[in-house]
Structure formats: structure tokens, C-alpha cells
């Protein structure tokens, strides 16, 4: 994978709807609160994130964040945040350490994806141009 990252993404279940007008700070998920950082994904990691964490959701909000906006507060780590790696390296996820701030100042755009027939494939295909690396 290239180390060129344009965007990172936050996936949010439909049970925590993202308002049409973004506030300065969205509420953190229980996982993010417990972890002490905001879990993000690169574009190439989104299919796996959907498969492992959103199989029971029919709809997700996908928040697109310009990487340069948050880069100074991102560490590329294993999912459990034990080992740091290079930006975009296989197996390392972008974790945002900025005091839990994710809202209108960080989020560039929001998409709503729908699972079809128990699969996210259709949503991923439709969003291919929006999922910039």
C-alpha cells in the first residue's frame, strides 16, 4: 500500500445517527471512550472494518476526514494500540489521539451506506470514487 493518504474514515453505526449539521464534537462510541483514542480506518481497511464490526448493522455513517487535518494527532498502530508502525503500512490502523474531538472541524463529508443482502459489497462499489486514498 502506498504511504500517500488523503483521507481517513470513521464508521458509525446507524444506532448513533450523525446529525445533518455536524456539531463541533460528536459523542464518542463506547469503544473509543474505553480505548482513549478514536478508531479510524484507511480506505483500504474499510471493507474489513465493515465485515468485522458492522455485520449486524444495515446502515452505517461513513465520516471522511482529510488526513492533513488530523495527521499530527494520528498514530498508526495495531488494532489494540500496542505497536506503532509506518503510515499506511499493512495491519496498522490510524488512531486519533486528540482528546476525543471529532466534529465539524475535522469531518469533511458524511455518507450513508446501506447493506444489501447481508453484504456491504454494493455500498462499497457505489462509493468507490468517494473512497479516496
**Tens of pLDDT along the chain (133 residues)?**
346 899 999 999 999 999 999 999 999 999 999 999 999 999 999 999 999 999 999 999 999 999 999 999 999 999 888 888 888 777 899 999 999 999 999 999 999 999 999 999 999 999 999 998 8
Q: Quick check: 102 and 10 in contact, CB under 8 A?
A: yes
DSSP 3-state of 21? coil
Q: What is the pTM of this model?
A: 0.93
Domain range summary for the chain, segments of one domain joined by +:
7-126
Are 84 and 37 in contact, with CB atoms under 8 Å apart?
no
pLDDT of residue 91: 84
**Residue 83: what pLDDT?**
87
| Closest-CA residue to 110 (of 47, 60, 53, 42) | 60
Q: How far apart are CA 32 and CA 48, in angstroms?
A: 18
Of the candidate CATH numbers 3.80.10.10, 3.40.640.10, 3.20.170.20, 3.40.50.300, the domain formed by 7-126 belongs to: 3.20.170.20
At 2 the pLDDT is 44
Q: Which pLDDT score, from 0 to 100, does residue 1 have? A: 38
Beta carbons of 28 and 105 less than 8 angstroms apart: no
> Cell 474489513 maps to which residue?
48
In 10 A of CB 23, how many CB atoms? 10
Question: Exposed, middle or buried by CB within 10 Å (0-12, 13-18, 19+), for 80?
Answer: exposed
Amino acid at each position: 500500500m502506498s504511504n500517500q493518504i488523503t483521507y481517513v474514515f470513521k464508521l458509525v453505526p446507524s444506532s448513533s445517527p450523525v446529525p445533518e449539521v455536524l456539531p463541533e464534537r460528536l459523542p464518542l462510541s463506547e469503544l473509543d471512550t474505553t480505548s482513549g483514542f478514536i478508531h479510524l480506518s484507511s480506505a483500504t481497511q474499510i471493507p474489513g472494518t465493515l465485515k468485522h464490526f458492522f455485520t449486524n448493522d444495515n446502515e452505517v455513517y461513513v465520516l471522511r476526514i482529510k488526513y492533513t487535518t488530523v495527521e499530527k494527532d494520528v498514530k498508526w498502530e495495531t488494532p489494540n494500540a500496542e505497536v506503532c508502525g509506518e503510515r499506511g503500512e499493512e495491519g496498522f490502523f490510524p488512531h486519533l489521539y486528540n482528546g476525543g474531538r471529532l466534529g465539524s472541524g475535522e469531518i469533511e463529508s458524511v455518507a450513508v451506506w446501506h447493506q444489501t443482502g447481508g453484504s456491504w459489497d454494493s455500498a462499497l462499489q457505489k462509493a468507490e470514487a468517494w473512497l479516496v486514498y
